[in-house]
Structure 1
Amino acid sequence: MPKFSDTVLFHVNRYSDETKRVKRHIYESVLDTGRAPAVADICADLGLSAETVRRSLHDLEGGVIIALQNEQHLHLKEFMGQRLPKDCVLPGMGEIFYARPFANFKNHHRVFVGGEQKWFGECPVESVTISYFFPGKEVRMESVCHETGAPVSITGKDGMLLDYEPKSLRIYWGRPFGQWLTTPGHEGDFIFPCDMNYFFSSEEAFAAWKERNPREPGQLFTPIQLNHLLRIFNYGHERFDYQYHFPLLRLLAALVTAGLFRWRMLVPVPNLFFLSMAKLMRDAYRFQYRLFFDVKLW
């Protein structure tokens, strides 16, 4: 496989050296302790001004690397439809809520590495490649079905999907890209895109939920489909200089296996769920975020 940056055609913005230092510090803390550092601690530990750190955090949020606590999520009692643990302490206003694919608070998405559990997942979608962050180790996320409460799990290693239970497991991706930043009540909210990402133990469990929620705009995927898709975008995610990338030839090769195209009457047609990504890019600029990603050949 080519090295991380061998096939970059061009960059759409690049993180500053200060932002890379901030990102490294955040993820070193998450991997070591299971928690992201407080903003004040980042300033003190790195010897950077509050203004510089805030600017870096803003850029990392625009790059869909982190999400910062906001008014809409400050007093949550439930997270993705499940009651938060009694000892859960949510991040304060403006603190790190997500260091994707990790949540900075206790929740029902428990992450195990070598039998140790001190990490919590951000969402079911990201669970399929969370193992990138623990090279050479088997990583398991344990959670519950949103409809039935039955236990579910995802196991991976080095970004590869090894197993999942039950075998009928499905993952619901709740929001098309075009709704991420412009849904009324959640304008400019980078936490919101994951609020309705759920595990379902089977298509029957999803159908029962969907019958009560017919207007919800999300889409159902198999763990294998999402693993194929996120391995394309998340390759190298564990690197501290990583920013999202669009490898053109790999995307072309995986149009169907990754769910970017779906079969209709034996004909592959574009999955409209993903076509609103262009709107997300426009919306990000509207809310004064800069986008950070690379366009790659492979």
Structure 2
Amino acid sequence: MNDARETTGTPDDPRSAHPSEEMPPQEQEAPGTTAETTPTPDHGEATYTGHGRLEGRAALITGGDSGIGRAVAIAFAREGADVAFTFMPEEKDDADATEREIVAAGQRAFPIEADLRDETVSSSLPERVSSEFGRLDVLVLNAAYQQARDGVESVPTEEFDRVLRTNLYSQFWTLRAALPHLGAGASIIITSSIQAVQPSAGLFDYAMTKAAQVALVKALAPDLGPRGIRINAVAPGPIWTPLIPSTGWPDHIAEFGQDTPLGRPGQPAELAAAYVLLASDEGGYISGSVLPVTGGKPF
């Protein structure tokens, strides 16, 4: 927030609230790290202010070490929640940074190194978090994997399997195991994508999983509602995270997000408020919905 806004109440221009210039060419190995991502994504470290919306609650975020997951972890902690999150071994430095932000907010952090493609691992998460915090109120199924594809015929089964096991199977396993721990007032939030409705040929398998997540939300809302449990999805557009330079499309980095009506990619920090709304009592009448955060791209 700039000084002009603090003194005059003038809202930020969304076209220039974050950098709009082209990203420099870069490429990483999946899953990607924040340290190697240029420019560094904004997770809200210096800007997000909490208002006690999640006071006393406990949350589990899969893939909470960087990108959208870290932004949500920071926001939840500053809103008063204890936060558990998963990360891959290669993401340990990012996980440490997220843990520091949660603790600095005065909340308990529970980082869990986990390969979510393993059913036993994914299924064990809710019980571990409930044991650590004594409760589980918010489940954010956020971890994802994507790779640029040259065509259906060039994708080996093991790569297709990795996408589905990370983006779908792990979510099913964790959600199924979480339900006995979730009481009335609990919230489940899935990170879908604009790819669910505007699929790219080069991300066909990723797009398949994102569309399936939307279907899952709409199918489960009528089942979970009578139990007082809400389920929703957030559908990001082009958001600048380590996932992007690790996707394997260096030629597309410069133009990433430039085709949005706001003329720039989004930052992880710009997703945080959507997750807080859906997790909090302020979103208590929202279930079975998909909340697009796309920079103006139609969903």
The verdict on a shared fold, with TM-score over 0.5 as the criterion, is no
Higher relative contact order at CA 8 Å, sep ≥6: structure 1 or structure 2?
2
Q: TM-score, normalised by structure 2?
A: 0.31
Give the structure with the larger strand fraction.
1
Give the structure with the larger helix fraction.
2
Q: TM-score, normalised by structure 1?
A: 0.31
